[in-house]
Amino acid sequence: MSIPLVPQLLRSHLRELADNDQRLDARNQFQGRDVQLEIDVLANAEGSARVRMGDTIVFAGVKFQTMTPYSDRPNEGGLMCMAEVRPVAGRKHEAGPPSAESIELSRVVDRGIRESGCIDTSDLCIIPGEKAWQVILDLFAVSDDGNLFDAFALAGIAALHNAIIPQEKFEVGEDRPLVVSKTPIMCSYQRVGGRFIYDASGREELGGDERIHITLGDDDHVHSLQKGLKGAFTAAEFTELMEEARKKGSELRKMVHELTGGN
């Protein structure tokens, strides 16, 4: 399949910039855009957050509902993560059922949070075998200028950290905070102009190739690795990206803890 003319020209320009250790917006190779994080921004959610990375803006909201525990896990509740990217976020997005991109965003963010074990699902049990809490994490993009993965993941974990379980509303006790024991942080890298960069903008994504999403925990344990698009990584590239993810993850985790108290 041939590549449309505009992406071809963009890829050529990105290659020239990379050869001179430059990027479209003058950032260096592993420099992220300015990040703004706010919590408790949605009045109708039990926990919420807003993240802005450059011109990428997303919201995360947490809701709770009761569920019947699965038969093989009678003492556990559940977690559900859903991402929504509508035309309001950018012209490339369409109305209708969830797109393949939205589904991938949901799954990658969900995996990083779920595999970290930051939510003890046994703590969500109300009556063993009969009733438990299901945590619903909704992610919504207002503006997409690249790297929705990291923006959604950051907003999601921040929203979980300030979520309150509405037990009084369901007449099962007093309201209490959702216990979140860890702060998994995702850092995404994409090959652009022949080299990997951090926090690709929308134009860099359009002219880029394979990408990798790395989710690390407070102790730098790897909770999830997800590769996207076609391409391969060398051992040296992977080692470099892991080290960069550790440094950036620590910075973003500190931001979350300062706002939420890291309960």
pLDDT bracket for residue 262 (50, 70, 90): low
Residue 229 in tokens:
């698009």
Mean pLDDT for the stretch of residues 59-71: 96
Task: Extract the tokens encoding 32.
Answer: 């992220």
Residue 249 sits in a domain of what CATH number? 3.30.230.70
Structure tokens at 16: 């020239």
Of the chain, the percentage scoring pLDDT greater than 90 comes to: 86
Tokens of 82: 């859903």
How confident is the model at residue 1, as a pLDDT?
44
- Residue 197: how many CA atoms within 13 Å on its side-chain side? 31
Q: Look at residue 5 in the predicted model and tell me its pLDDT.
A: 58
- For 235, residues 6+ apart whose C-beta sits below 8 A from its C-beta are none
Summarised one tens digit per residue, pLDDT across range 9-46 is: 899 999 999 999 999 999 999 999 999 999 999 999 99
Would you list the DSSP string of 229-259? Answer: SS----HHHHHHHHHHHHHHHHHHHHHHHHH
Tell me which residue of 186, 156, 170, 165 sits closest to 260, measured CA to CA: 156
User: Could you tell me the residue range of the domain that residue 194 belongs to?
Assistant: 5-260
**Domains identified in the chain, total number:** 1
- Determine contact, residues 137/159, Cβ cutoff 8 Å: yes
CA 48 centroid distance within chain? 14
| DSSP conformation letters of 52-101 | EETTEEEEEEEEEEEEPPPTT-TT--EEEEEEEE-GGG-TT--SSSPPHH
- Compute the average pLDDT of residues 142-167: 97
Considering the chain, what is the average pLDDT of its residues?
93
Count the neighbouring beta carbons within 10 Å of the beta carbon of residue 97: 7
Provide the pLDDT confidence category of residue 229 given band limits of 50, 70 and 90. Answer: confident
Distance CA 6, CA 205 (A): 13
pTM of the model: 0.94
Strand pairing class (176-177; 164-165): antiparallel
What's the whole-number mean pLDDT along residues 42-68?
A: 97
The token pair that represents 81 in the structure block: 């993560």
Q: Is a pLDDT exceeding 90 seen at residue 93?
A: no
Span 154-175, average pLDDT: 97
